[in-house]
Structure formats: structure tokens, C-alpha cells
Chain A
Amino acid sequence: MIPGKLRNQLFLSSALLTSLILVIAAWVINSQVLRQVRQQVQEEIANLLPVYDSVWNEHARRLQTMGTAMADSPIVKEVFGDARAFRDRATLREMISDASVEALVAGDLILIADGAGQVMLVDQQGGAAPEIGNVAPMVEVSERQRQNTGFTKIGGRLFQLVLTPVVLHSGSAEINNTMAVIGTGSEVSAAVASEIKQRINSDVAFFMGGRLHASSFAPEVESEASAAVLASDLSLSDPVRATELEIGGNLYLAFARPLADFNGELIGQVVVLRSLAGAGRLFSAITNRLILLWSLALVTAWALSYLIAGRITQPIESLIAGARELGTGNYDHPVPVDAHGEIGQLAGTFDQMRASLRQSQAALLRSERLATIGQMASSIIHDLRNPLATILTAAEVMKNERLEIERRRTMLENLLRASDRMDAMLSDILDFSHSSYRLQRKPHSLAGVVRTVCQDMEPQIAQRGIRLDVRVPETIILDVDAERLARVFENLIVNSVQAFQQNRALPGAPPPEIEIVAAGNSHCIRVEVSDNGPGTPKEIRERLFEPFISHGKRGGTGLGLAIARAIIEAHGGQIGLVEVERRGATFFIELPLEREIIPIGMPPDSGPDRGSVEDGKDSLAGG
């Protein structure tokens, strides 16, 4: 099986695609959520503005009430109404404490000036009073005879101040005199910033003349906050459009509000900074949840991709399995066609192809078999025709009544020999056609079997002047069908004899010799039958043991070696041609020692070679 290459490719590509889509979707949703959160914070800030303004209004109202109460108090009117009254500081302080309807708070400022704006007293509750620098607003208030509220800088410090004129009515309404101006104020400091922070849940910083005046920030981040605000492009014109700032690792949305003096002129600004930490926490909670969801979606998408890839490739894999079976020549392995769509069609087509291949293969086998039968038949017929021609001719010659007795006998002998040859050939063919041999196995001495064959063939061998050298130990006992094994040796010797016969006329050939040598170990016996003839031509060496392969030999069916192989293989052994450098052909036979047969009187561990009575140089050579 291919380790699912297609499946992996499908899975990877679809997993990649779904991951990409999910990541893009996550990014889009993420930025959407971020925008929503930011917008929500901006709306919150817009809602903060009235709250912020109301803080200052409350402060102003307290100061206004205080101022009005003082200006309307009879003591104050008495002090300023009598031109001869003492107006030193001690008297004024006494007057203030008597005129106050409510207690002064720490940081509260009391200022008293005469009608011409000359400052008579500056006092601050619980602190050192600032040096007064600016009298112009007081003169204006005294002239207009109206209470006024504003931010002002006194001695380098910032105050929210309410100026109230002390007016004396002298009978008629037209003749009013401003006798004095009373200022009630509170310092705009870090404490006020903290108060505002509590109210609007945002940090506040006061800037004056491009410098930080006070803020609700802790001292360690104050300078950083100041630098960040001054570096930004905060604009007073659009209070709702907040600017994003980073201070101490936290994100803030900041907007600025003006601080105006009595004439409505800008003397500084308040920067309100709303921390995004809370929104950030919400945002990261949403992000975490999104990441979890996305991980789940990714895993699900991958699992689905894997399953779908499997569903697509599984029919292809079974198709591959079918094709592979077909490739090995198994035409009976059906291809499942349960898939739908194109793959199902492909599988169906493939299965049809397999069926038609099986048919044509069967037809091919049939025609091949017929061709083989034809070849065998023509080979057999041809071989049988030669002796048949002899028989016919001899019979025809013998028809002549005047034939001499001597010649008649020769004809008869020829006729008989030709008949014998035909008989031998027919036996060969019969032997070969009984492809499964029913062996009659019994323990036999290998040397005995070989000796019998040599004795039977001695006339032919001697007549051709061939020397036969047999070296087979007498101790080798094999469990074999002796008659069949003899046939093997006979065929091998005949093969060699015929080789010499062909070689007869070649000049300078060595004296012909056939050698039979046997040796063995505990597993098998190896016999080699070799000759010093011309050897086997290369072109037929590989097909030597196939039937009807002979190289120009006469008098046989070309079945000798094929029969030898069939017999040896029936014994579970092997037969073959040994590749040798020297002249001639060497055949080997290997027979397994399935059941070791130990002759009486022999120790079991003595090998077949040891202590063997060598058959001597069993030379049967004649001539």
C-alpha cells in the first residue's frame, strides 16, 4: 500500500485552506470587537462631560453662596459702611469669621479688597496665603456691582475664585456704592484632581502655560503622563474626539477642557484621561474566548478534512490495490465500485477492463496451449518419421523375392532397430506426458545404480572409444526410485556421447572422456557428470532442460534432459549445468538426504566420503 500520499495531500491542502479562512475571519472579528470596545469607551467619555462640568458648578455654587452670605452680612456692611471703622487685618479676620454661615474648608481662600480694588486681606484656610498680584478683576466687579466666577492665577497658584461686591444702599436705588469686594475661592490642586477622579472614574491633569500644574496621577507616573500629554496633539476644539495615549504601560483615551478666567480667556486646560485597562481586560477575555473557539474550529476542520480526504482516497486506494493485483496477473480480484461520481465510474470501467482482460488472457492461454501442442506434435512426428522411413524402405526392398538371404537379414535387422527406436521414443513421450511420477522409493546404493547404467551402456561407450571414469563412494545410500534415477544417468551419458559424436571430426580434440563424481554432506548428495566434449552452445544453455530442445541431434525426441529434470525434481532435488571455464559440459545433480540411511556396521558420524571404498577408476573405456 502506498502510505496514503494522495490522502495526505488532500488533507494538508484542505486543512491549510480552512486554517487560512479561520485565521482571516478571526482577524476580522478581532478588529471589529476592538473597534466596538473603543467606540464604547468614547461614548462613556462623552457621557462623562456633564458629570465633569457639574463638579465645577457645585464648587462654584458653594463659593457663590459663601460670597453672597458674607457680602449681605450686617457686620460686613457695618464695617464698610462706617468710614471711621477700623479696617486692620485683625478686625477684618474677626468680621469674616462672624459673617461666615458655614465653616471654611482647608485650602479655601478669602480675599478682601476696597472699592478701588486695593487688596486689604488675603487669607487661606490651613496654609500660607499667596501673594496677590492681580487686582483688575476686582475693580471690574466693583464697577459692575455683580458677582463673578472664574479661574485665576494668584502667586503662581491656580484658584477657582468667586468675587462678590459689597454694595451699600443709601436711600435711593440710584446711588449705590461698592464699598468692598469679597473673594471666595478654592485652590485647584491634586486634591481637587483626586476628587474629580472619584466622581468621573478618570484621571485628571491641570496644565497651565504648557506645564503640568497638578494631577490625580501617582507621583511616580506623573511626569510620564505630563510628557505624554504635551507630546500629543490634544485639541480643545473637539472634546469628544479623544486621543489615545500610553502612560506607564496602560492605554488611555484623553480629551482636554479649557480653564477660563473672569473674561472668558484661556489660562490653562484640564486633561481628562480615561484608562482603557478595564476595556483591555474585557477585550482580552473576548480574545481568549475567541482563541478557544478558533482552536476548536480548527481541530474540527482538520478532523473533517482528514475524514473527507479519507472518503475521497479510499476508493482510489482500493482501485490501486485492484490494479496491483491485476499487475501481478491476478484477474480475479474484483474492484469494489461502491464509490459515487467520477471515481465510481473509473472503478466501474476498471472492473470492466479487468473482466475483459481475464477473457482475453484465457483466450491467449488457450491459443498458446494449442500452439505448444502443435509444436510438440510436429517435433514428435518429425522425429518418428526417420525410423518410419527406414521401416518403409526396408520393407519395400524386402518385397523383392530375389533378394539375397544375407541382404534380407540386414534389412530385417535395420527394420527391427528402427522399430526399437520408435518404441523408445514413444516411451519417452509417454514418460514425459506423465508429468507426476509415482516414485517407488527404496534405499539404494548410489554406486550400484550408476554401475548398472554403465554396464548397460558399455557397448555404445566402448565402441566410440570413450573413457568412463566413475568415482562414487559405496557408502552413499539414497532413498530413491532406482529405475528412474538410472534413467537420469542414462540420459546424461547419452547426451555426452552424442556431443562426442558431433565432435568426432574436429581435429586436435583430446581423447573423449566422461566422468561421474559424487560427494555429499549431512544434508545432500551432489553428483557431477562431466565430459570434455564441445560443450553446450550458449544460446540453448538456459533452455536446455525444456522439452524438444536439442541441437541438431538425431535419434532422440529432445526429451532426455527434460525427463531427467522431472525425475530429479520429483525426488526433491535439483539438476543443472555447471558453468565451467574449461572445455566440455558438466551437469550436476543434488539430492536431499531426507531420511539418513546408515548401512549396518557404519558409525553414524562417518561422512559419506570418509572410509569409503572408492569404486576405483571404474574405467570402462574401450578401444
Chain B
Amino acid sequence: MGKTVLLADDDKEFRGTVAVALERAGINVVQASDGMGALEHLSRSLPDLIISDLNMPVMDGETFCRRVRAVSAYNAIPFVILSAMVEMDGASLANIPADLCLSKQSPLSEILSQLQDLIAD
């Protein structure tokens, strides 16, 4: 039984590209274009991991993360921020209750291995 990842990012191309990479690693991917869409998915089924961008319309990554942490049913799901802003806003990132913050610029293999570790737990 493969693991499922919920991927929230408003950049369609990036989302598609990462989805292909994850699926190649044997992980199912559910996509959402912002935090609100991702919450809708959560209400239907629970994934094994959530990956979210920070800067998104309607509901940004930080709000989305707080919402997830506020609901006990979603509380246990590991939450990963994957953003182009990671190195820039170190201070504000510390306030987000995410399990892990990754840069979009990191090599794909590195991103994948870190995600694998979180799912394996």
C-alpha cells in the first residue's frame, strides 16, 4: 500500500513536476493550488504527509499550517514547507509550526530522501 502526499502549490508547473518525481518514487500525490483547496482535500481523506508552498493566493502556507495544527484529526500528519523563500525569511519561518522547511532549490534527491524519512516514521 503506497503512501499518499498532499501537495499544495499555486505554481502549476512546479506542482506537476514534483508530483511526477514523487510518483516515480512510489508515492501517490494529491494536488491543490492553495491552502483552501488543500483543506478541502483533507476533509475527504487523510494523507501521510503534507507539502505546502508559503506564498499562495486565497490561503497562504503559514495559515494553512496553523489550521492543520489546530485540528486534532490532522495534528499527527507531518507538515513540510517547500518554498523558494526558505533561506530568505529564516526568522519568520521559525514561527511556523511545520515539521520541516525545505528549499525549492535543493537537489531533488535530497528533498526526496528527507520526505521518505518523514513518511517512514
List residues of A whose CB falls within 8 A of some B CB: 378, 382, 385-390, 392-394, 396-397, 400, 403, 407, 410-411, 414-415, 417-418, 421, 498, 501-505, 552-555
* Chain B, Cβ-Cβ closest to A378: B88
Q: Mark B22-52, 1 if CB is under 8 A from A, else 0.
A: 0010000000001011000000000000000
A505/B37 contact (C-beta < 8 A), A397-B17, A397-B24 known = yes
Partner of A397, one of B11, B13, B88, B108: B108
B96 CB–A CB distance under 8 Å: no
A603 to B100: give the CA distance in the assembly, Å.
Answer: 71
- Contact, CB under 8 Å: B105 / A388: yes
Question: DSSP majority for the A interface?
Answer: helix
* Chain A, Cβ-Cβ closest to B40: A505
Q: Which of B20, B36, B60 is packed against the most chain A CB atoms within 10 Å?
A: B20
B87 CB, nearest partner CB in chain A, Å: 10
Q: Which of B54-75 contact A (CB under 8 A)?
A: 55-58, 60
What 4 new A-B contacts, CB under 8 Å, besides A389-B104, A390-B13?
A385-B105, A389-B84, A503-B58, A505-B58
- Contact, CB under 8 Å: A555 / B105: no
Contacts of A393 in B (CB 8 A): 14, 17-18, 21, 104, 108
Contacts of A421 in B (CB 8 A): 13
- Contact, CB under 8 Å: B20 / A552: no
A378 to B88: give the CA distance in the assembly, Å.
Answer: 9
Partner of B17, one of A411, A498, A555: A411
Task: Identify 16 residue pairs between A and B in the complex whose beta-carbon atoms are under 8 Å apart, listed by A's number.
Answer: A385-B84, A388-B105, A389-B84, A389-B104, A389-B105, A390-B11, A390-B14, A393-B14, A394-B13, A396-B108, A414-B13, A418-B14, A504-B58, A505-B58, A554-B11, A554-B55
A397 to B17: give the CA distance in the assembly, Å.
Answer: 8
A108 to B55: give the CA distance in the assembly, Å.
Answer: 146
A134 to B62: give the CA distance in the assembly, Å.
Answer: 149
- Contact, CB under 8 Å: A554 / B16: no
Q: Which of B56, B60, B104 is packed against the most chain A CB atoms within 10 Å?
A: B104
A387 to B12: give the CA distance in the assembly, Å.
Answer: 10
A41 CB, nearest partner CB in chain B, Å: 106
- Contact, CB under 8 Å: B84 / A386: yes
Contacts of A417 in B (CB 8 A): 13
A417 to B57: give the CA distance in the assembly, Å.
Answer: 20
- Contact, CB under 8 Å: A552 / B21: no
- Contact, CB under 8 Å: A397 / B20: yes
* Chain B, Cβ-Cβ closest to A403: B24
Total A-B residue contacts, Cβ distance less than 8 Å: 81
B9 CB, nearest partner CB in chain A, Å: 9
Contacts of B34 in A (CB 8 A): 505
* Chain A, Cβ-Cβ closest to B84: A385
Number of B interface residues, CB 8 Å?
26
Q: Which of A407, A415, A554 is packed against the most chain B CB atoms within 10 Å?
A: A554
* Chain A, Cβ-Cβ closest to B57: A502
Partner of A389, one of B14, B36, B37: B14
- Contact, CB under 8 Å: B21 / A396: yes
Q: Which of A387, A389, A552 is packed against the most chain B CB atoms within 10 Å?
A: A389
A199 CB, nearest partner CB in chain B, Å: 124
A502 to B107: give the CA distance in the assembly, Å.
Answer: 31
A70 CB, nearest partner CB in chain B, Å: 150
A382/B84 contact (C-beta < 8 A), A392-B105, A505-B36 known = yes
A407/B104 contact (C-beta < 8 A), A552-B56, A554-B10, A554-B55 known = no
* Chain B, Cβ-Cβ closest to A385: B84
B85 CB–A CB distance under 8 Å: yes
A582 to B77: give the CA distance in the assembly, Å.
Answer: 42
A397/B57 contact (C-beta < 8 A), A378-B88, A385-B105, A414-B13 known = no
A388 to B55: give the CA distance in the assembly, Å.
Answer: 16
- Contact, CB under 8 Å: B85 / A555: no
A402 CB, nearest partner CB in chain B, Å: 9
B11 CB, nearest partner CB in chain A, Å: 5
Contacts of B88 in A (CB 8 A): 378, 382
A504 to B24: give the CA distance in the assembly, Å.
Answer: 32
* Chain B, Cβ-Cβ closest to A414: B13
A503 to B58: give the CA distance in the assembly, Å.
Answer: 6
Partner of B57, one of A382, A392, A552: A552
Contacts of A385 in B (CB 8 A): 84, 104-105
A527 to B23: give the CA distance in the assembly, Å.
Answer: 49
Contacts of A400 in B (CB 8 A): 24
* Chain B, Cβ-Cβ closest to A399: B108
- Contact, CB under 8 Å: B21 / A414: no
- Contact, CB under 8 Å: B13 / A502: no
Q: Which of A400, A410, A414 is packed against the most chain B CB atoms within 10 Å?
A: A414
A385 to B14: give the CA distance in the assembly, Å.
Answer: 11
A552 to B34: give the CA distance in the assembly, Å.
Answer: 11
Q: Which of B79-116 contact A (CB under 8 A)?
A: 84-85, 88, 104-105, 107-109
Partner of A555, one of B11, B21, B58: B11
- Contact, CB under 8 Å: B17 / A390: yes
B22 CB, nearest partner CB in chain A, Å: 10
- Contact, CB under 8 Å: A414 / B36: no
A423 CB, nearest partner CB in chain B, Å: 14
A156 to B15: give the CA distance in the assembly, Å.
Answer: 154
For the complex of A and B, list the 7 residue pairs with the smallest distance between their C-beta atoms, beginning with the closest.
Answer: A389-B104, A385-B84, A502-B57, A414-B13, A396-B108, A390-B14, A505-B36
- Contact, CB under 8 Å: A410 / B108: no
Partner of A411, one of B20, B36, B56, B57: B20
A137 CB, nearest partner CB in chain B, Å: 141
- Contact, CB under 8 Å: A502 / B20: no
A389 to B21: give the CA distance in the assembly, Å.
Answer: 13
A173 to B10: give the CA distance in the assembly, Å.
Answer: 175
* Chain A, Cβ-Cβ closest to B13: A414
Contacts of A410 in B (CB 8 A): 16, 20
Partner of B14, one of A386, A501, A505: A386
